[in-house]
Chains A and B, each alone.
Chain A
Amino acid sequence: MKIKIAAFTALFFIAVTWMVESCKTSEEISYKPGALLWGENCARCHNAPSPDAFSDAQWDVIGTHMKIRATLTDDEVKKITEFLKSGN
């Protein structure tokens, strides 16, 4: 029984350590530009929109809508929205 508790405790700490460690954004991801994230994320469901399709204010609304609907991360949405605004 003690062995089982010890094994469970060890596994639990390994799992927690892995989760905490993995939650850190890797450098590779943090340097990704908005244009790349736009291509990778929008096209998962629909064609990637043209940056000149909407105004800056409208991109703000769409960014929030997509953050909620497609459960994108906050950083992704900020970068993608900035990239789309730069097309106006």
Chain B
Amino acid sequence: MKKILFINTFILSASLACSQDTLSLQQQINSAKPGKTHFLFTGYAFSEFKFSEDGNSFLAGSFAPIFLVKPSDKVFFEAEIETEFEEGELMIELEYADINYSIAKNMTVRAGKFLLPFGTFAERLHPAWINRLPSKPLGFDHNGVGPFSDVGVELRGGLQTGKSKTNYAFYVVNGAVLDDGMNNSATAGMLMYENYEDNNKNKTIGGRIGFLPFSNSSLEIGISGQYGKVGTDKTIYENVFAQMFAADFSYMKSFEKLKSVIDIKGQINMVNVDKADYADTSAMGAYTFDNKNTAYYSQISLRPALSKNKIIQNIEAVARYSSITQPEKSLWAENAVQWDFGLNYWLGWRSVLKLAYQIHQPEMMKQENIFTVQMAIGL
């Protein structure tokens, strides 16, 4: 009887242990399943060293984590935080944070703070691991000529139109704010972008239409526009509006004879603000000016990616010309032209070592020459 009891106890214990092992294995399998919510932590970072006549310095660069969450097939969330050192202080900015909902196959609505499709540089090309040069073109940074990002709602998508493709993006946002010079008369008439709260009841509308005429998507031409009130309600500037236009192009092609891929990109931004009177605190009078701003760049890069030599195929040569023109009679005009020449070495598909030489020629001022070494990585 005792023997039977012992055997039963042994079998029970063994089966329990076995079932626990099975349960443990099942738990491990379940924990490895991705579930319906998909999440990705990505982003980019860079660090650089600059040589110029003013001095040589290591710069801390920037770290920009990006969070992507896909809770379901129709819902998507993206956010980027940009952190960098500026004048000894750690600056943290929310580059974008927006919720997307797929309404139809080729139509998505999004709301929040998002990069604006005003041309392509701000939205697609500015991250350090994508930008072929360490610097941005003149007038294409935050608070340059034209908007970079804003808060609002947007509708966008891409369509196959026969052999060609068309993409669209239309948005309603808070819009830019006109600096009335009350805090600093030297900046009167400037536009300030990326405003979390609007300064008037009017909303700014804008959008971009892109057209890719060739079936291999090698060429894209886009036009963008934005229109809205920039003056603050219940001030003398309440009827001041700004009209903005941009045109962009991108052409990329492999040339077998050169064993290379050539990439040409360019964009022009134009911002016109209605004429207004501004107070000049130093002269105790009022002045006005034609508030028209233009910035453009064109860039060409060549990479012998089709070469059989593994070192040569990772080298890339880049040249860029950019220009900024601001209102002559304003107190903040900084007209300049700039040449940037670069030689890159791609360590992987998303990490690059850039060597660049910049010739910056401000109007009526001494030319500046800067040599930069930058290491950039996509995470």
A interface with B by C-beta (< 8 Å): 19, 21-26, 28-29, 40-41, 43-50, 53-58, 60-62, 64-65, 67-76
Q: How far is the CB of B303 from chain A (nearest CB, A)?
A: 9
**What are 5 residue pairs bridging A and B, where the CB atoms are less than 8 Å apart in the complex?**
A26-B163, A41-B217, A57-B34, A65-B78, A68-B78
Q: Contacting A71 at CB < 8 Å: which of B40, B70, B169?
A: B169
* Nearest residue, chain A, Cβ from B117: A71
Please determine whether B124 and A57 come into contact, CB atoms closer than 8 angstroms: no
- Is B367 on the interface with A (CB-CB < 8 A)? no
Q: Which residues does chain B contribute within 8 Å of A28, judged by CB atoms?
A: 163, 215
Please determine whether A49 and B350 come into contact, CB atoms closer than 8 angstroms: yes
Q: Which residues does chain B contribute within 8 Å of A55, judged by CB atoms?
A: 34
Q: Which residues does chain B contribute within 8 Å of A24, judged by CB atoms?
A: 162
- Is B327 on the interface with A (CB-CB < 8 A)? no
- Is B371 on the interface with A (CB-CB < 8 A)? no
Please determine whether A22 and B164 come into contact, CB atoms closer than 8 angstroms: yes
Please determine whether B252 and A43 come into contact, CB atoms closer than 8 angstroms: yes
* Interface of B: prevailing SS: strand
- Is B160 on the interface with A (CB-CB < 8 A)? yes
- Is B68 on the interface with A (CB-CB < 8 A)? yes
Q: Which residues does chain B contribute within 8 Å of A41, judged by CB atoms?
A: 217
B interface with A by C-beta (< 8 Å): 34, 38-40, 42, 68-70, 76, 78, 100, 105-106, 108, 110, 123-125, 129-130, 156-165, 167-169, 210, 215-218, 220, 250, 252, 261, 346, 349-350, 378
Please determine whether A46 and B129 come into contact, CB atoms closer than 8 angstroms: yes
Given contacts A40-B216, A44-B217, A71-B157, contact A58 B162 (CB under 8 A): no
7 closest residue pairs by CB, A with B = A71-B167, A57-B34, A71-B158, A22-B162, A47-B349, A74-B105, A61-B40
* Interface of A: prevailing SS: helix
Q: Report the separation of the CA atoms of residues A50 and B349 in the bound assembly, to the nearest whole angstrom.
A: 7
Given contacts A53-B349, A72-B158, contact A61 B39 (CB under 8 A): yes
Q: Report the separation of the CA atoms of residues A57 and B220 in the bound assembly, to the nearest whole angstrom.
A: 30
* Nearest residue, chain B, Cβ from A78: B105
Please determine whether A47 and B350 come into contact, CB atoms closer than 8 angstroms: yes
Q: How far is the CB of A19 from chain B (nearest CB, A)?
A: 8
Please determine whether A44 and B163 come into contact, CB atoms closer than 8 angstroms: no
Please determine whether B76 and A68 come into contact, CB atoms closer than 8 angstroms: yes
* Nearest residue, chain A, Cβ from B123: A69
Q: Which residues does chain B contribute within 8 Å of A64, judged by CB atoms?
A: 68, 70, 76, 100
Q: Report the separation of the CA atoms of residues A28 and B165 in the bound assembly, to the nearest whole angstrom.
A: 13
Q: Contacting A29 at CB < 8 Å: which of B42, B157, B163, B261?
A: B163
Q: Which residues does chain B contribute within 8 Å of A43, judged by CB atoms?
A: 252, 261
Please determine whether B38 and A61 come into contact, CB atoms closer than 8 angstroms: yes
Residue among A60, A62, A68, A76 having the largest count of chain B Cβ atoms under 10 Å: A68
Please determine whether A62 and B158 come into contact, CB atoms closer than 8 angstroms: no
* Nearest residue, chain A, Cβ from B163: A26
Please determine whether A74 and B124 come into contact, CB atoms closer than 8 angstroms: no
Q: How far is the CB of A73 from chain B (nearest CB, A)?
A: 5
